[in-house]
Structure 1
Amino acid sequence: MLNLPYGISDFYKIRTEGYHYIDRTSCIPLVEAAGMHLVFLRPRRFGKSLWLSTLENYYDVAKAPAFEQLFGDLAIGQNPTPRRNSYFILRWDFSLVSPQGEVEQISQALHAHMNTRIQAFAQTYQAWLNHPITILPENAIASFESLVAAVAGTPQRLYLLIDEYDNFANEVLMSRTRAGSDRYETLLYGEGLLKTVFKAVKGAGSGMGLDRVFTTGVAPIVLSDLSSGYNVAENITMLPDYTTLCGFTQDEVKTLWAQIAEHCGVSAAARDETLELMRTYYNGYRFDPRSSALIYNPTLTFYFLKAFQRDGSPPQNLLDTNLAMDRGKIAYIAALPNSAPVLAAALDEANPPVIDMLAQSFGVADVLDQAKDATFMVSLLYYFGVLTLDGYTEMVQLRFRVPNLVVRSLYAEQLRTRVLPAHEQQTASAAAQALFHRGELQPLCEFIETTYFRALDNRDYRWANELTVKMAFLTLLFNDRLYVVDSEPALERSYADLTLLVRPDLRSSALQDALLEFKYLPLSELRLSSEAAKTTPREELAALPLVQTRLAEATQKAEAYRAILQNVYGASLRLHTYAIVALGFDRLVWVKL
């Protein structure tokens, strides 16, 4: 069995305790050449901390005796740079600093964290230092300056690693409270503490002993507010050389899966199905619009493979609970004014979000101002990892999409929560089960008519169209524990509105597959009032000429998609196919093919 480093970001532990490591050390020379003060952004749990740990172990003068053990068989071990094992390493991790409480409490927590790391630095390098480091409990800036002075008296120089530099700002952003806004402004504005920290870092790099800094984070929220104090940083986030610095490629996952499948005795057909399941749910991130390379989330990949090694089957819940907190990022955007078209576009493959350029920094005014445009919202969703780049449009605008089905499930959950109270969600689940187990659509349609449509705010009617109806079904039917739920899956260069295909590991169950094709008719075109649409028998509505036309259109498309699916899946497919027409936001008419 492979010893998979799920949740482990300690390079030394991975290399000395037999964990599987996918080599990224070939990037070290590129990072050396890139500059002295670098900033690199990626979504949560994407391997940033492991990369910092890799740099720490490679450059640490105290780790020189372990170089061959740690790096000998890796790319950098075969061709090391002259700077290997030549630095003192200081590492700060701002995710460990609580942003809760008053500003004074946050300041104390930050001072305490920095001082703890400075104290550990003094103990690690005491044999190299000619002068002691003075630790001032209430002034970590002064402690840092003392450290830099001690380093300046040696032949070595300092490499500073800063993890999750934007942790404070992210927490404030999510809080949406006046108190949080005040804390953020105090920390960043004027001579605020965080700004002072980075001013000290900049000063230490001016011939005082600090040679290099590598900073990681999720979003460039505080970059503009730090700029006057730290205007020497270079953002390498979207440069082509660093596309695969964090995350796994398709070939790497395929090789890793082949080893596990061999150990677990998985058949050739099942290997392909399982690899496709992983690709559908975990792949799809793109961090350079010019590149065709798609990246897997590494934490989710190891989560899946570790479960498979243990149980001989995929995990029942494909969304790792350690990443489920990302739902808060979508909730934040959903609560903003005018967010409805942005979220709708995120789930609309035919008309995805498009902006002129990605925001490179967000200042305090951007974060706290109530007026946030599409560029702000789409950029944040991208940095948080719930949208990804999909290349350029013909007008050379950036196009985005949801990266994979795990992230799509977060959108579906957010839309469901936004529209329905908890007790109604239980009723919706029961209606969905009728389709899952018996292929019955009526309970779900009746729930959507009587509850879901009624729960939509009046402003949602501005965006009423076929997509709105499809989103209603998608949010109520999305269940990755049972299905590969795909909206607009490509079927021979054409598209079906919504398919629910039983997961490969559950094909032997009694679950039913489903294909749904939608059309939308405004009540104005039917010359019907809302009350008439609600009270007219469904059979009479279905007989109306316009409704018949839309049903025929949906039926024709659904039949074509069904033929393609049956050709692909053969006898294993238990497909129930429906053509559905929504009459405004009041009634649904459907036929089962």
Structure 2
Amino acid sequence: MKKYPVGIQSFESLRKGGYLYIDKTELIYRLISTGKYYFFSRPRRFGKSLLISTLEAYYSGRKELFQGLFINEVENDWNSYPILHFDLNAQKYDSPESLNDILNDILVKWEKLYGTEPSEVSLSLRFQGIIQRAAEKTGKSVVILVDEYDKPMLQAIGNNDLQNTYRDTLKAFYGALKSKDQYIQFALLTGVTKFSKVSIFSDLNNLMDISFDKRYAELCGITENEIHTWLEEDLHELSVNTNMSYDQVCKCLKERYDGYHFTEDSNGLYNPFSLLNTFARMKFGNYWFETGTPSYLAQLLKQNKYNLTRLSNEVVTSDLLNGVDTLINSPIPVLYQSGYLTIKSYNSRFNVYTLGFPNKEVEEGFISYLLPYYAHVQPAESAFQIMNFIEEVEKGEIDAFFLRLKSFFADTPYEMIRDLELHYQNVLFILFKLLGFYTEVEYHTSEGRIDLLIKTSKFIYLMEFKLEGTAEEALAQINEKHYVTPFQVDRRKVFKIGVNFSNKTRNIQKWIVEEV
């Protein structure tokens, strides 16, 4: 029986335990053979920690762990180097002292091995001293591996003072990579985001950022070709367990977990965490999304007054994607680098990227997650409410549908008054996106007008929404623009619905229903 490395981030444990390993060592060998300093960003649960662990095993000279892999066929010299491995991932950063304490704890352990000097009074001076003494005492250059370098910065989003404190600390600390260059063999920093410009990386201009490098696009993540190479038998087993055909299983895997693109014109990548969980449990699920979504993502969207309808078709420049120091102006970089949006297409003429959701797991999960942040509904009730909406449209219970929708706008926050139109649009977008996962929905917005088409097996709903107009005007627009014409020969029952929102009540003021 095949063993799937779900949650295993140690290369040694994976290899000794006989777990599946999709060989990435050809790319790793290219990495170590052609450069010295690297930065690599990918979303969480994409295999960055395993990559760091694999490099640690290689630089420790653990040849036995690489038997049967590409790197074992080409590497002749298996040398051991002193390794300084930082793991900043599994910590909580909520005060200036928390980062200092964690870095101090790491440095103390290394100082026991390599010594210290009284003059090294700061964290950065101590780190520099350790690098130099480790090289001098062992006679080998030092390897530096930093896992989730940005975790303190990410946890401080929304707290500018704390984030600036962390920025200053880490900027000085990582500066050791440049000041002690002659003692360093190799360095890799991984993370979710790149805090650039006047940030941590402003002095580290010797770091090569391979996050957008097509040569290393497949360093983390799993390609379709790799699935058929390493998991072909598993696909057939999944087919049996899910009562789906082989072709249906392949299609469902692709729709749910594929679609990540980190450079233009690259192969799509499957989320390894979701994919391996699917095979381990032999059923489909929202595995990556269920591991947690940072609340700051929803907060960033609201703070920036972001129009959620753009999530499926956001056009950006490469400069915006490359750093998240523009958070004050746009939440898009962190959404992209966190894996909630990905590259869908590239326009080389204007050097712009079109972003969208990578797959169904992310789209459905993220939209569902946003609902309580925008509508008057508790997180635990979201799924229940959506189920009721779906049942109501499927049964033709229009008044019940709108009464429920009206409750979503209850207690609209006073601070939303200036942006009521955007607030209405965002709530409706979330709701109708969620309905669209179970029914056929077309939703359009332009110049403040919101048009909606919902199709079920028995009914077709044509809706027009007005803000500070009248429901009668909305209904008249449906008639004047002949929205019904395409459905005149359809056997399903067709409803025309005009809806008006009131700024005064901050809610739906009236709806009128006409059956065709």
Normalising to structure 2: TM-score of the pair? 0.82
Tell me the alpha carbon deviations over residues 556-584 of structure 1, each in whole angstroms, 9 at most, x when there is no partner.
Answer: 6x95xx9xxxxxxxxxxxxx887665534
AA aligned opposite 1:112: D
Distance in 2 (alpha carbons) for counterparts of 1:27 and 1:154: 28
Shift of 1:85: 3.0
Distance in 2 (alpha carbons) for counterparts of 1:226 and 1:262: 47
**1:431–1:447 Cα contact (<8 Å) kept:** no
1:432 aligns with 2:387: yes
**2:153–2:167 Cα contact (<8 Å) kept:** no
**2:372–2:382 Cα contact (<8 Å) kept:** no
Give the match for residue 408 of structure 2: 452
1:345 aligns with 2:310: yes
1:388 aligns with 2:383: no
**1:59–1:87 Cα contact (<8 Å) kept:** yes
**1:92–1:114 Cα contact (<8 Å) kept:** no
**1:39–1:236 Cα contact (<8 Å) kept:** yes
Find the partner of 1:529 among 470, 481, 497: 470
AA aligned opposite 1:346: L
| Distance verdict in 2 for CA 1:44–1:118, change over 3 Å | farther
Distance in 1 (alpha carbons) for counterparts of 2:179 and 2:439: 53
Distance in 2 (alpha carbons) for counterparts of 1:55 and 1:591: 66
| Distance verdict in 2 for CA 1:464–1:214, change over 3 Å | closer
AA aligned opposite 1:133: G
Q: Which moved more, 1:456-465 or 1:49-58?
A: 456-465
| Distance verdict in 2 for CA 1:302–1:333, change over 3 Å | same
| Distance verdict in 2 for CA 1:470–1:210, change over 3 Å | closer
Give the match for residue 446 of structure 2: none
Q: Number of paired residues?
A: 493
Where does 1:484-503 land on structure 2 (aligned, <5 Å)? none
Shift of 1:337: 3.0
AA aligned opposite 1:51: L
**1:445–1:588 Cα contact (<8 Å) kept:** no
Distance in 2 (alpha carbons) for counterparts of 1:346 and 1:115: 46
Q: CA RMSD in A?
A: 3.9
Distance in 2 (alpha carbons) for counterparts of 1:256 and 1:499: 42
Distance in 2 (alpha carbons) for counterparts of 1:199 and 1:398: 32
Tell me the alpha carbon deviations over residues 339-368 of structure 1, each in whole angstroms, 9 at most, x when there is no partner.
Answer: 2x2x22104xxxx111233333344xx45x
**Secondary structure of the equivalent of 1:95?**
coil
**2:134–2:142 Cα contact (<8 Å) kept:** no
Tell me the alpha carbon deviations over residues 480-534 of structure 1, each in whole angstroms, 9 at most, x when there is no partner.
Answer: xxx6678669xxxxxx98889xxxxxxxxxxx9799675535478xxx636x68x
AA aligned opposite 1:314: F
1:331 aligns with 2:310: no
Give the match for residue 183 of structure 1: 162
**Secondary structure of the equivalent of 2:193?**
coil
| Distance verdict in 2 for CA 1:265–1:151, change over 3 Å | same
| Distance verdict in 2 for CA 1:407–1:434, change over 3 Å | closer
Tell me the alpha carbon deviations over residues 136-184 of structure 1, each in whole angstroms, 9 at most, x when there is no partner.
Answer: 89865426514522422444221111111111110111xx23xxx2222
Give the match for residue 126 of structure 1: none
| Distance verdict in 2 for CA 1:581–1:472, change over 3 Å | farther
Where does 1:176-215 land on structure 2 (aligned, <5 Å)? 176-177=158-159, 181-189=160-168, 193-205=169-181, 207=182, 209-215=183-189
**1:157–1:210 Cα contact (<8 Å) kept:** yes
**Secondary structure of the equivalent of 2:92?**
coil
**2:464–2:477 Cα contact (<8 Å) kept:** no
Give the match for residue 273 of structure 1: 248
Gaps (5+ residues) in structure 2? 444-450, 502-507
Find the partner of 1:108 among 71, 93, 101: 101
Distance in 2 (alpha carbons) for counterparts of 1:185 and 1:204: 25
Shift of 1:430: 5.0
**1:160–1:213 Cα contact (<8 Å) kept:** yes
Give the match for residue 433 of structure 2: 474
Shift of 1:549: 5.1
Give the match for residue 547 of structure 1: 479
**1:515–1:578 Cα contact (<8 Å) kept:** yes
Shift of 1:226: 2.4
Normalising to structure 1: TM-score of the pair? 0.72
**2:273–2:287 Cα contact (<8 Å) kept:** no
AA aligned opposite 1:356: T
Shift of 1:212: 1.4
Distance in 1 (alpha carbons) for counterparts of 2:143 and 2:220: 20
Give the match for residue 93 of structure 2: 99
**1:187–1:194 Cα contact (<8 Å) kept:** yes
**2:167–2:200 Cα contact (<8 Å) kept:** yes
| Distance verdict in 2 for CA 1:487–1:217, change over 3 Å | farther
Find the partner of 1:133 among 108, 115, 134: 115
Distance in 2 (alpha carbons) for counterparts of 1:554 and 1:117: 73
**Secondary structure of the equivalent of 1:212?**
strand
AA aligned opposite 1:583: V
Q: Which moved more, 1:2-11 or 1:31-40?
A: 31-40
Shift of 1:246: 0.4
Find the partner of 2:205 among 211, 222, 231: 231
